Structure 1
Amino acid sequence: MRISGFASGFDIDAMVKQLMTAHRAPLEKLQQKTTRIEWQQEAYRSISTTFVDFRNNKLSTFGQSSSIDAKKADITGNASAVSATVTGASTNSSLSVEVTKLAKAASVQFNTGIAGDNASKTLGELDGWSTSSGTVTVNGVPIQFNKSTDTIQSLVKKINDNKEAKVTALYDSTSGKVSITANATGEGDVVLGGDFSAAANLITGVDPKAGENATAIVNGLQMSSQTNQITVNGTTIQLKQLSGTGGASTITVGTNTDKILDTIKNFVSEYNKVLEQVNTKLGEERYRKFDPLTEEQKEAMSDKQVELWEEKARSGLLRNDSILSQTVSNLRMAATSGFGDPADKFNIQTIGITTGKWFEGGKLVIENEQALRDAIEADPEKIMSLFTAKSAEEPAAGYSKVNNPNTGVFTRMSDILMDSLKQLSDRAGTSQTSTSSTGSFLENSLLGTQKRDLNSRMADLNRRLTMLETQYYKQFTAMETAINRYNSQAGSLGSFMNG
């Protein structure tokens, strides 16, 4: 039990606290080192999430054929008869299309109506249903009914609820007629069977209509389709109406220069954002006099003072970082290195993209947009390869994945960032795949190991400090006890002398 200084008049707690202050200094140093490591991990994570996003989202999107090899379809002539949608497989072509027949779905209509009072009657109350229950089949699919409870409307609903029949039944309450239509267009019939044959009121005057395929003449070749859609040279053509007297439609599929140009512009913008973030961290000022604050120091400061202090203390934690410096260097080389035959000296500078001024840290600049547009229109395949080409072969002697002439800019950068993410994960425990700004860190990284060691040292030091603090209190308790004993003896002696 701890005893305050009742006998001595001393503030024992204050004295012990003062004595412990010097002993706690090493612990505070360890706590500051731990905090600095945590801040470093957070700083690395902000970079790694940017790398993951740029690699897995931005570069991946820019490299899709719909972005870097975009096509467009223009329709002239009979523009109302067809529409066209380009795909990643579309090739440049001119297609003359004449729609000669539209696809139709097979159907069956029962011309005898069940309207008026009959509409609400059960099937058992209608003439022709001789069984108490039974089964009708639609396209070979059995559908159960009960003559005592089912009406014509409930039978229609059962047919529609059965997805395997692949039809849509319709009951017109005004005319009382029923129709059954196939869900898909194209050649074929709606085949009815089972107890439909027992229903005289339903089957009288059946009007079946077979389904039909669509037909169109494309560049002189007749084509057929079960739907009103055909695909030619990778382009999807929707047949909307018969060409008739309007004549043929001409679909011209060509390079979508504007979209490809926008893709390259967006790449330049996103790439520059990555460089700016990394270069800012590499050049950030390091304020070595600003250590992480202890809890006592924070308590003595205002929130604003703490914020400003920690802003300085966090600054420069990644200054001149070796991984980030190498990443920037590699990205810049990947962007500007040649593609294809080295003798051709073909790279992004050839098409009007430069690295800007020296103080811009390697940012890309589209200096000549017209030259870029002309290059896209002249040879879109070459431009696509410049950015997206891949190679399964190892780089030739004198080259690496950073400047491999057989791979495109996006491919090189993707490989570089994957290597950097691996290095950041090994050093700081950051994720190689996540863009979460609050994700946890791997414990077995370099910084994670250092942090674990510091935590172990702090735990050991805390135990020793607790023992030391307890020892101080024991000593002061002994002193208080001795003073109490002395005071008691002195009091007794005084009483005896005065007795």
Structure 2
Amino acid sequence: MADSTSSMPVGTTGAGGGNMLRITGLNTGLDIDAMVKKMLTADQTKVDNAKQQQQLIQWRQEAYQSIISDVKDLQSAYFDITNSSNYLLSSNSYNNMTATSSDAAMVSGKATTTAISGNYQILVKQLAASAEIDSSSKIQYKDKTDPSKTIDATGSTKLSDLDSSLTTSDIKLNLTYNGSVETIKLQNTNGTATIQDLADAIKSQTNGSVTARFNELTGQFSIQTANTGDEYTLEINNDGSSASLLTDLNLKTPTTIQGQNAIVGIKEPGSNDFIKTEQKSNTFNINGMTYNLYQTTPNTDIDTSNTTNIKGDDPVSISVTQDTSKVHDLISNFLDKYNKLIDEIQGKLTEKKDYDYQPLTSTQESSMSDTTITNWNNKAKQGILRSDDNLQKMLDDLTNAFVSPIKDSNGNNVSTFYFGSIGSNSIGIDTSNEIKDAGKVTITDDAKFTQALQNNADEIMKLFTTTSDSSDDSTKFSQSGIFQRINQIITNNVGSIGSTYNTAILTNYANIQDDYSISGGSGTGTLPDQIYQKQLLINQLTDKMSTNQTKYYNQFTALETAMEKLNAQQSTLSMYLS
């Protein structure tokens, strides 16, 4: 007869037993869990191998992401245009000249790399001015409720309040500026157009060449050319439909107003005279100096004995001195950070793999302490990026950025100086000759580098920052300065500043998953694709092992059932025989 255990599965939760509660073979006396576990060894090994392979890929991804982060740190430190103090691509970063004015509220100056050191003196006879027509007096209008009273106009005052005749749907003003004639048309629906509306219309309809404003302090209206200088002229007159507009705004009737040039006298270092110059703007450049004029200097006049000169007793002095330390430190600090990055990449490319250390299985980890697991994993991660093609290509490109000659479109050197340490026109910066420091760049001759900055800063700037308009990558590389090349290489590999996930080489390979297919065969081979494909394999192998496990337990269950029946038959036969 059957006993109560005949319908129960065999095995126990744990070794090979899965999540089901199983009872080890009572009829056969076999350790079924242990037997099933051994029978699944091959399946478990396949799962463990797939997980180990996936772990290696994940470690590669983490190593890539660490390098990408460090590359972007270098990028943001030296190639971010918003970081003006360290921006390597700006001409201002290579300017070793400083200019200090004795009265910056009157005249200020800025020296470029081509300016001469010394003391500059400046006399200002006349400032540059735009052609401007102003109200002759404060704009006022009569109070409609009490005509004996007057009201001061504001920008929001309606033109129809100034004059009841200005109620037409369109107000027109003929404007002649710089030889061009423009009829300003102002929509005045129901007489609602204001003084400010007129100012806006003038600017808009002349595309900003002429501007207008209502001065809330003086109560006056003005129209002026946007640019200064005697080449700019301005004339206004009424259109017949709004004949009183100029009168109501207290503006002068048709007269051509001309702008004026700045008249300045400059005594440069080594000169005995204030040389007269006329400039269209109050900001202008001469001989490597940028001057900004704000006020005329007192007691200044044309030298009647020599009209090419200006005389005066109270010039503004601008002292120009040279300081190479800022440029020197900027490049030196960049090279320090750059070399740390190169050292990191070179270390990963040459790090040897210890094949005695593979990613741990969960079974192996279960018998280890946390410290032992960490130490083991650190060993297993070694060599994870050895001879990586992407990193090696970036490293080679960075090295070539320094050593490849920089040519213009005619094949000539863009600078009289060149990268290296040999020769009178080398800059004293060179790549390392040590194998262990391959790819690193250092200042090998500080005296030569400093001298080049002192005497030829403009040529050094060309060497580092020259740009190319070519659309061909090879030509653009050849024609670009060293730091322009490095900036492009970094962008090509990790993307532009501020971007995280992009199609740049390293970033795309480390972070972008293209494959979401069921079979795992439609991606581009990025690391996320590889991780995904391994996960599909792990799922497949795990499902197969689960199927095999169920099959084995079912077979042992059948065996237990057969043994149970046999035992029952033997028991019955024994009863009859006894």
Band of TM-score, shorter chain: 0.5 to 0.7
The structure whose residues are more often helix, as a share, is 1
Alignment root-mean-square deviation, CA: 5.5
| Counterpart-to-counterpart distance in 2, 1:457 and 1:275 | 37
Relative to 1, partners in 2 of residues 1:335 and 1:241: Cα closer, same or farther, differing over 3 Å?
same
| Counterpart-to-counterpart distance in 2, 1:343 and 1:128 | 78
Equivalent in the alignment of 1:478: 558
Contact 1:282 1:320 in 2 (8 A): yes
Relative to 1, partners in 2 of residues 1:141 and 1:297: Cα closer, same or farther, differing over 3 Å?
farther
TM-score (norm: length of structure 2): 0.60
Relative to 1, partners in 2 of residues 1:292 and 1:115: Cα closer, same or farther, differing over 3 Å?
farther
1:38 to 55, 58, 66: 58
Instruction: State the Cα distance separating 1:22 from its structure 2 match.
Output: 4.3
2:279 to 224, 227, 232: 224
| Counterpart-to-counterpart distance in 2, 1:490 and 1:190 | 128
Relative to 1, partners in 2 of residues 1:44 and 1:348: Cα closer, same or farther, differing over 3 Å?
farther
Instruction: State the Cα distance separating 1:189 from its structure 2 match.
Output: 3.4
| Counterpart-to-counterpart distance in 1, 2:535 and 2:63 | 20
Relative to 1, partners in 2 of residues 1:348 and 1:314: Cα closer, same or farther, differing over 3 Å?
farther
Relative to 1, partners in 2 of residues 1:102 and 1:28: Cα closer, same or farther, differing over 3 Å?
same
Equivalent in the alignment of 1:427: none
| Counterpart-to-counterpart distance in 2, 1:206 and 1:42 | 75
Instruction: State the Cα distance separating 1:241 from its structure 2 match.
Output: 0.9
Equivalent in the alignment of 1:145: 188
Contact 2:126 2:296 in 1 (8 A): yes
Aligned sequence identity (%):
21
Letter of the 1:92 partner, please give it.
Answer: A
Equivalent in the alignment of 1:465: 545
Q: Which residues of structure 2 form unaligned runs of 5+?
A: 19-32, 81-86, 144-148, 176-182, 206-210, 267-274, 300-312, 406-415, 470-474, 495-501, 515-522
Once the two structures are overlaid, the 10-residue window that deviates more, 208-217 or 434-443, is: 434-443
Per-residue CA deviations over 1:389-437 (Å, capped at 9, x if unaligned) read: 7999xxxxxxxx9xx9x9976578779x689969xxxxxxx96466699
2:165 to 108, 130, 135: 130
Instruction: State the Cα distance separating 1:473 from its structure 2 match.
Output: 3.6
Relative to 1, partners in 2 of residues 1:348 and 1:320: Cα closer, same or farther, differing over 3 Å?
farther
Equivalent in the alignment of 1:273: 340
Taking the TM superposition and a 5 Å limit, the aligned residue runs for 1:138-217 are 139=175, 140-146=183-189, 150=192, 155-162=194-201, 163-164=203-204, 166-171=211-216, 177-182=219-224, 184=226, 186=228, 187-189=232-234, 191=236, 193-194=238-239, 196-198=242-244, 202-203=248-249, 210=257, 212-217=259-264
Taking the TM superposition and a 5 Å limit, the aligned residue runs for 1:83-482 are 83-85=108-110, 91-92=114-115, 97-105=122-130, 106-109=132-135, 111=137, 113-114=140-141, 119=151, 128-130=163-165, 132-137=167-172, 139=175, 140-146=183-189, 150=192, 155-162=194-201, 163-164=203-204, 166-171=211-216, 177-182=219-224, 184=226, 186=228, 187-189=232-234, 191=236, 193-194=238-239, 196-198=242-244, 202-203=248-249, 210=257, 212-217=259-264, 220=275, 222-225=277-280, 227-233=281-287, 235-245=289-299, 247-249=314-316, 257-282=324-349, 284=351, 286-295=353-362, 307-319=374-386, 345-346=422-423, 351=428, 355=432, 366=443, 369-381=446-458, 383-384=460-461, 410=483, 432=504, 439-440=511-512, 443-445=523-525, 458=538, 461-462=541-542, 464-479=544-559, 481-482=561-562
Once the two structures are overlaid, the 10-residue window that deviates more, 159-168 or 269-278, is: 159-168
Relative to 1, partners in 2 of residues 1:356 and 1:364: Cα closer, same or farther, differing over 3 Å?
farther
| Counterpart-to-counterpart distance in 1, 2:456 and 2:560 | 95
| 2:284 counterpart SS class | strand
Contact 1:78 1:248 in 2 (8 A): no
Per-residue CA deviations over 1:280-315 (Å, capped at 9, x if unaligned) read: 435657554442233555577676665554333323
Contact 1:49 1:437 in 2 (8 A): no
| Structure having greater relative contact order (Cα 8 Å, sep ≥ 6) | 1
| Counterpart-to-counterpart distance in 2, 1:77 and 1:378 | 26
Contact 1:356 1:365 in 2 (8 A): no
- Across the two proteins, how many residue pairs are aligned to each other? 464
